[in-house]
Amino acid sequence: MNAGARLATFGAGLVVAFGGALAASGAVVPDSYVAQWSEGNDVNTHDENGNAADQQPTAPTFSGLSIDADGFVLSPVEAPGTTGAAGDLSFQIQTASGEAVREFTEAHDTDLHLIVVRTDGAEYRHVHPELDASSGTWSVPWTWDAAGTYRVYATFTPGAADAHDAASITVTRSVDVPGDLTLAAREVQRATEVDGFTVSLDGDLTAGEPSRLTVTVQRGGQPVTSLEPYLGAFGHLVALREGDLAYLHVHAEGDEPQAGDLAGPEVGFMAEAPTAGRYLMYLDFQVDGEVHTAELVIDAGHSDGKPSNDEGGH
């Protein structure tokens, strides 16, 4: 079945960074993580008599707000100390006891996603470093283009190799780069130009409710129908909440594309924002073997219909 038939509604499924991923195998997997995964996959809870009871839905939560999560820690990040200096950005994923995790299972075409973004939402980069299995150190060539405080996020999925429903882990640290700083203003932006492409966003976010959003890609005023699979989908989205840069929970729409499939111009996804406010969205898409990144900004309103404070509410 070709991509057009399989994805008739949106034209493409969107894999979203730092959502659920296939499991990875670590050097040591904390018991707390295994227990959490097991509990999270129970269909029903049980009462004191052992009878099945309906499991209560949990409120959506953010990830990527701490250097540690579920017994895993992001080590201090080594990187060039000034703008313009060439070097490597490197780090380890460690257990709480300080042991480096050395083995990972591929998820979304890579073992680990690395996001680096300045705290004002500018200077966004999504890269895939290489692992030195002997030391457990990840590294990627790096140069800072601008001064500021940056958030470095690493996402991975530890656990047993067959625990395919295990949730991914996201850990983060801040890195300061000295120099003159000009902060970027982040106003609502539903359309943007990048590398000759026009990317626009339709749909609304409502706090606490699933929302359907559609991204449309055009070039020269014409729809782009040659979107290629990238990281297991026709696009890859990262969404960050302005203020603390936490990750928004988003879910893919459509089937995973196969090699040679093409799609477009529309890419659909579902998002659920736990709070009202402003969200920064970064869409990676690939055409003719080249990856492009479009930056968009959208406000989430309250479920009662009131605008967020950014939209003039109180």
Pairwise CA distance, residues 266 & 287, whole Å = 14
Q: What is the pLDDT of residue 55?
A: 42
Measured in whole angstroms, how far is the alpha carbon of residue 209 from the centre of its chain?
Answer: 19
C-alpha triplet 204, 210, 216: angle, nearest 5°: 45
Pairwise CA distance, residues 29 & 160, whole Å = 8
Q: Which regions of the chain carry the CATH code 2.60.40.10?
A: 3-18+186-311, 31-42+57-177
Cis (ω within 30 of 0) for the bond into 257? no
Q: Pick left, alpha or beta for residue 288 (phi over 0 → left; psi -120 to 50 → alpha; otherwise beta).
A: left
Strand ranges for 58-100 from DSSP E: 68-69, 72-74, 87-95
Q: Which amino acid is at 111?
A: D
Q: What is the pLDDT of residue 252?
A: 63
Q: What is the pLDDT of residue 174?
A: 96
Pairing of strands 15-16, 236-241: parallel
Asked if 143 and 118 count as a contact pair (C-beta separation under 8 A), the reply is no
Pairwise CA distance, residues 310 & 314, whole Å = 9
Give domain 3-18+186-311's CATH superfamily.
Immunoglobulins (2.60.40.10)
Pairwise CA distance, residues 224 & 201, whole Å = 15
Q: What is the pLDDT of residue 310?
A: 52
What architecture is the 31-42+57-177 domain classified under in CATH? Answer: Sandwich (2.60)
Q: What is the pLDDT of residue 38?
A: 33
Pairwise CA distance, residues 279 & 239, whole Å = 7
Q: What is the pLDDT of residue 131?
A: 93
Q: Which of 86, 54, 202, 77 is closest to 138 using CA atoms?
A: 77
Q: Which of 154, 147, 209 is closest to 182 using CA atoms?
A: 147
Measured in whole angstroms, how far is the alpha carbon of residue 25 from the centre of its chain?
Answer: 20
- Across the chain, which has 314 residues, the per-10-residue mean pLDDT values are 38 35 35 38 36 44 83 96 97 94 74 93 96 95 97 81 62 96 92 98 92 94 95 87 84 81 92 91 95 96 73 44
Pairwise CA distance, residues 8 & 264, whole Å = 10
Q: Which of 204, 11, 178 is closest to 81 using CA atoms?
A: 178
Measured in whole angstroms, how far is the alpha carbon of residue 308 from the centre of its chain?
Answer: 23
Pairwise CA distance, residues 19 & 250, whole Å = 7
Pairing of strands 15-16, 125-127: unpaired
Residue 52: burial class (beta carbons within 10 Å; 0-12, 13-18, 19+): exposed
